[in-house]
């Protein structure tokens, strides 16, 4: 197949190219509240988690509100990927569904806007219009996709980055093993824009495998910024109480 080129980083847009370039070969940490109303669901906490990740070597951040973007922007020069999650009744789209959210993120200081490219129905502007709005401000747009086909369409519509973010989270991809290495490999051979691995990255083996499959950079969330889920995963490895008693006897 002929490679699909997006009209983003390969053409005009010096700032866009620079911000994306700083992410290549790196690890982006998603500093988001994984449970609404939970202990971490506060902008200042999320900013501090992001900065802690930067101290550990993160190449950039992915955050889920204009408020967090605005609070994080003055305290870091690392690239910020911003998004807004909003359910729209009657539509499948969830991540940055309209131009209003895109404008809010850009105004807050996002270098890259992440938007849903997997939804088959949208309440307002199509993805291509969201991409154009970003490009008018020399801000990159990252297409959150569930399938290779969706990513190809997004790249043709102006995506500067295509990502595997929604693989395994749609009815079409339910049950896909994550990270989706097959999708990464396909995209690397079919698009001329950077490919981001996101979803299901839990350890060094996943990171290495994703880069080997063709990822240009990796986004990791729960494995770094979700203490509740990390704790539950570790607890599952503890022997049963009955087993512990038997060992002590």
Could you give phi then psi for residue 112, rounded to 5 degrees? -140, 135
Average pLDDT over residues 128-150: 97
How distant, in Å, are the alpha carbons of 9, 15, 33 from that of 228?
Answer: 38, 37, 11
Kindly indicate the confidence band of residue 90, based on its pLDDT and cuts at 50, 70 and 90.
Answer: confident
Residues 6+ apart with CB under 8 A from 236: none
**DSSP strand pairing (195-198 vs 80-82):** unpaired
- Residue 119's CB is within 10 A of a number of other CB atoms, namely 21
Kindly indicate the confidence band of residue 12, based on its pLDDT and cuts at 50, 70 and 90.
Answer: low
What would the pLDDT profile of 168-192 be if each residue is shown by its tens digit? 998 889 989 999 999 999 999 999 9
What would the pLDDT profile of 46-67 be if each residue is shown by its tens digit? 999 999 999 999 999 999 999 9
Q: Indicate if the pLDDT at residue 233 is higher than 80.
A: yes
Residues 6+ apart with CB under 8 A from 30: 61, 62, 63, 198, 219, 220, 221, 224, 225
């Amino acid at each position: 197949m002929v490679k699909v080129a997006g009209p983003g980083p390969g053409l005009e847009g010096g700032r866009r190219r620079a911000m994306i370039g700083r992410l290549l070969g790196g690890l982006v940490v998603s500093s988001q509240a994984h449970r609404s109303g939970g202990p971490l669901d506060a902008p200042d906490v999320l900013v501090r988690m992001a900065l802690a990740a930067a101290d550990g070597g993160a190449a950039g951040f992915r955050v889920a509100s204009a408020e967090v973007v605005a609070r994080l922007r003055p305290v870091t020069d690392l690239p910020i990927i911003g998004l807004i999650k909003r359910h729209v009744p009657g539509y499948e789209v969830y991540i940055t569904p309209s131009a209003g959210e895109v404008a809010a993120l850009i105004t807050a200081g996002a270098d890259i806007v992440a938007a849903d490219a997997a939804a088959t129905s949208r309440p307002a502007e199509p993805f291509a219009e969201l991409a154009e709005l970003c490009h008018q401000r020399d801000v990159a747009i990252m297409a959150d996709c569930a399938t290779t086909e969706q990513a190809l369409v997004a790249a043709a519509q102006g995506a500067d980055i295509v990502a595997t973010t929604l693989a395994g989270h749609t009815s079409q991809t339910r049950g896909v093993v994550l990270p989706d290495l097959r999708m990464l490999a396909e995209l690397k051979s079919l698009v001329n824009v950077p490919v981001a691995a996101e979803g299901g990255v839990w350890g060094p083996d996943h990171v290495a495998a994703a880069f080997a499959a063709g990822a240009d950079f990796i986004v990791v969330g729960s494995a770094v910024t979700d203490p509740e889920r990390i704790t539950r995963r570790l607890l599952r490895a503890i022997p049963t109480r009955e087993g512990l008693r038997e060992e002590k006897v």
